[in-house]
Every structure is written in structure tokens, then in C-alpha cells.
Amino acid sequence: MKKTLWISLIAIFALVISACGKDTTAGSEGGSASTPASDQKGVITIGYQKGNTLNILKEHGNLDKALNEKGYKVEWKVFSTGTVLLEALNTNNIDFGHASDGNAVFMQAGGHPLNYVASESPYPEGVALVVKADSSIQSVNDLKGKTIGVTKGGNQHYLLLVALEKAGIDQKDVNIKFYKDAAEGLAAFTKDEFDVYGTWDPYLAIVENTVETRTIVNGTDNSENRTFYFATKDLLDQKSDVVTIILQELHNADLWANDNKQEISNILSTELGLDVEPIQKANDRRTFGVQEIDDTIIASQQKLADKFVEAGLLTSKISIKEAVNIDSSIIPSNVK
């Protein structure tokens, strides 16, 4: 095993431990200093996960400035997973946050109301099923009887289900083995506990940089692999102008990120405690940008939810459209 692989494993393990040990319901991180104006309208609390777009917005600082000028103070809270973040949103411990497509579906299926606000641009190349370079597996058609590692209900799990369906293979004809986090998954793959490893960026990029692999299939034409933005009903109903400013400044930060990917990689490398090289590789195949949720995006997210019902991961169907209630006037002019 290469020395760099052990370094990556240790870094990922440290990241997972530190994230899981974080008290996500108390305290704050970042934000602007209190001003007399900030005291007039109160605090807007934003939940984020390290390494994602709201993390970039926090580090860029443009939202803190914009809301401070309107009389608000921004408080940032970091969360280890999208599921925990959405739980905090549901209990009004935060006002605004983000989570993956899969996290959102499971939260809604659990009877928790969600308010979709916008979507990040699709990121299909950021999720993949890979094998070691010397594997006899050449395509999805070779997966029968093989052991495939994914996180339960994760973006790679959905990718696997879609790929199997396209190949005409029943999921019962493969051995799906669940791992709990990126550190466990990478360790199991290197020890040949999986024939095929499903993972996502930046951990996909780490695997590609430390193990000789081949990609069997990625999200292109299979999974949009989206991040969604959510807000509390109170924020949408009582402070819709704040939502508009958040989306506007989020998109501005995204556009800046597209033009400054090396700087973004350095920032996220520090935030995640990972080497900058795989972060750069992940960012190079990604386009940042906020999008208004239209019927096409709703249909894509509904397809994901229906697929998880079909696979037995969800017990009943849900309606994504019912959770997209945002007034189009709230969407800023720079978001399309």
C-alpha cells in the first residue's frame, strides 16, 4: 500500500471523527461582528457542511456583509451530515441550509416537512463506481455476483440502482454491502472487501489519486448528483427578502469560485484537512452555480425518490413537488 494512501486514510478518518464529535446544535462559527444595525433585526443562522458551497460562501464573506447592511447578523453552524442539518432546520435551530438529493428524500419520507428553495448545479462526474485497475470487471454488465460497496441511500447507491436497471440486472443479483463513511469505505476497498466501490468527491478524487482505478460508470446520464438549499417556513414567510439576498450572494460566490478554483481548493483543503491535489481534481470537474427549481429538476428528484421506494429503502411514495413552494418573486434576478 502506498504511503500516500495511508496519509489519505488518516486524514479522512480524522475528518469524520472531528465532524461527528461536533456539537451541531450549539455555538457558531464565522459570521460578522455585531453592529448596531445587526441588533435591529436579529440573527440569521445558516447551517453548512465542510467542503460544500455554503462553506465557500462563508469563507468568501460576501453574505455577512450584505445581510449586515440590511440589519442582520449571520451565524454559521457546521454539521457533520446533511441529515443532521435538515433535522436542525426542521426544529428551527437554523434558518437556512443545504443537503444532498438523497438526504432530502429520506427526511421528507420520514414525515418531516421540507421547503426546497433552490438547487446547486448538477455534479454528475462527482459520483462514480470504480474498480481496481487489474479488475476483470469492464462494465456494468459484469456486476452480477459481485460485491459493491455504497453508503445506504447515498448518491452512489442511487447511481448503482440506475446503472443496474439500464443493464437489465436485478439488484438481487449483486451483493450490496453498506459502509458508514468515507474512511471505512476506502479502507474496505483497499483490503478487497468490495469488488466495486461507489464513492463521491472529494473522496472519489482521493481514491483516484492513491489507488490505480478504473471508472465503471459515473453520474453522467445517470444521476444529476445535486445539492439542494432549504429554508424554514418562518424565514420564507416572514423574511423572504433575506432568502433573496442569500441566494443572490450564494450565486455570486459560486461564480467567483468558478473563476478561482485553485483558491477554492486551498480553502476547502484547509477546511477538510485533506491534501489540496484531490480537492483541485474534484473542483476541476465541477461547475458551481445556483439554479431555480423547475419542473425538470423536480422530475429528476422525484425519479430518485421513486427509485428508493422501488428498492425498498423507502416504505411509501412522496411528492417532491409538494415540498417546492417558493414564490418565484423570491428568486433573485441573477439566478436562472
Domain of residue 236, CATH code? 3.40.190.10
Pair (52, 102) in one structural domain: yes
Q: What is the pLDDT of residue 28?
A: 43
Look at 2-16, 222-236, 285-299 and tell me which has the smallest mean pLDDT. 2-16
- Whether residue 153 contacts residue 198, with contact meaning beta carbons closer than 8 Å, is answered with no
Residues 6 or more apart from 166 whose CB is under 8 A from it?
A: 140, 222
Pair (105, 11) in one structural domain: yes
CA–CA separation, 263 and 209 (whole Å): 20
- Whether residue 137 contacts residue 195, with contact meaning beta carbons closer than 8 Å, is answered with yes
Pair (19, 116) in one structural domain: yes
Residue 336 located in a structural domain = no
Residue 35 located in a structural domain = yes
- pLDDT tens for 268-322 read 999 989 899 999 999 999 999 999 999 999 999 999 999 999 999 999 899 999 9
Task: Provide the mean pLDDT of the chain.
Answer: 89
Residue 98 located in a structural domain = yes
The pLDDT of 126-155, averaged and rounded, is: 96
Q: What is the pLDDT of residue 40?
A: 80
pLDDT confidence of 198, banded at 50, 70, 90?
A: very high
Pair (111, 255) in one structural domain: yes
Q: Which of 191, 218, 245 is the last residue of a domain?
A: 218
Q: What is the pLDDT of residue 39?
A: 54
Q: For residue 218, is pLDDT > 50? A: yes
The pLDDT of 135-153, averaged and rounded, is: 96
Residues spanned by the domain of 178:
124-218
- Whether residue 6 contacts residue 204, with contact meaning beta carbons closer than 8 Å, is answered with no
Report the length, in residues, of the chain.
Answer: 336
What is the number of structural domains in the chain? 2
The pLDDT of 79-91, averaged and rounded, is: 93
Give residue 303's Cα distance to chain centre. 18
- pLDDT tens for 20-40 read 333 333 344 444 444 444 458
Q: Which of 218, 247, 273 is the last residue of a domain?
A: 218
Pair (326, 247) in one structural domain: yes
Pair (302, 230) in one structural domain: yes
Residue 133 located in a structural domain = yes
Pair (114, 260) in one structural domain: yes
Q: For residue 230, is pLDDT > 50? A: yes
Q: What is the pLDDT of residue 325?
A: 87
Residue 27 located in a structural domain = yes
Q: Which of 218, 252, 287 is the last residue of a domain?
A: 218
Q: What is the pLDDT of residue 269?
A: 93
Pair (146, 86) in one structural domain: no
Residue 335 located in a structural domain = no
pLDDT confidence of 9, banded at 50, 70, 90?
A: very low
pLDDT confidence of 182, banded at 50, 70, 90?
A: confident
- Which of 289, 300, 293, 302 is CA-nearest to residue 330? 293
Pair (302, 178) in one structural domain: no
Q: What is the pLDDT of residue 284?
A: 95
Pair (114, 247) in one structural domain: yes
Prediction pTM value: 0.86
- pLDDT tens for 253-265 read 999 999 999 999 9
Residue 171 located in a structural domain = yes
CA–CA separation, 46 and 89 (whole Å): 9
- Percent of the chain having pLDDT more than 70? 88
Pair (156, 248) in one structural domain: no
Pair (11, 71) in one structural domain: yes
Q: For residue 135, is pLDDT > 90? A: yes
